[in-house]
Structure 1
């Protein structure tokens, strides 16, 4: 298993607090897949407004976390080091559950297509083994 801590993740992707949404990578294979985790706490800035009386992590941020995990898989390839993976599109997205304070989200993105700088990742986020978000994420690697 290829584990990465937060500092090693920051060497691969450009995201920083408060927008770095991955706490650690459990395993990855450059250009193939990555599995990471986000430990959600009540102190997350977005809970101040989403929703103060019923805190729920915005689904789009879960998608972003999945994209960041996919970016680790793509940008850890030697030919993409130091670059940025940009969102190109989201297809087949389904929100199937909520993410709340105290949840540990498992984020898995498998790269299913890649041609040059453009590719597609199959992404699934789970909490306690239950799918909360699934989607196909299109990306483009740029400078």
Structure 2
């Protein structure tokens, strides 16, 4: 058996357990699953998770967020890097739902961010729907494609990889 067969088997195992499927995870559930906290918690809820495959997160953008004090006071725009961070946090929920409760609260570190594109500004009052899908998993390294949409319009996208650590 080669490495590709082993990875395919791991991918199939990811999809085999639908008991971790979630159709709505509120903010308290999000906070149980990932370690991020204010002011760096970038998602408010997750409305769909298909373990081993995809997740959809929600970010309600409000004027009260600290980055708007300086980015930009006369025309508040959510920094693109924070939109990518919201994609990563949504992917973190996907990883936890795939791996199960033992993965809750574990740290996940960015390894790469590729092909990031920002299509239009995101401003207070917008609600971002963050769609992430797993492209590949090799051991504790995961690769994702993320798309952020406001009112169904693509505002940002990126391909990124991250590593989940065993330490909490």
TM-score (norm 2): 0.82
What root-mean-square deviation, in Å, do the aligned CA atoms of Structure 1 and Structure 2 show? 1.2
Q: In the alignment, what sits opposite 1:74?
A: 95
What CA distance in whole angstroms lies between the structure 1 residues aligned with 2:105 and 2:85? 19
List alignment gaps of at least 5 residues for structure 2: 1-21
What CA distance in whole angstroms lies between the structure 2 residues aligned with 1:82 and 1:21? 15
1:103-127 Cα offsets, whole Å, 9 max, x none, are: 0000111111001000100100011
Structural mapping, 1:1-143, within 5 Å: 2-76=23-97, 77-78=99-100, 80-142=103-165, 143=167
* Larger strand proportion of the pair: 1
TM-score (norm 1): 0.95
Alignment length (residue pairs): 143
* Larger helix proportion of the pair: 2
What CA distance in whole angstroms lies between the structure 1 residues aligned with 2:27 and 2:147? 21
> Which of structure 1's runs of 4+ aligned residues deviate more than 6 A?
none
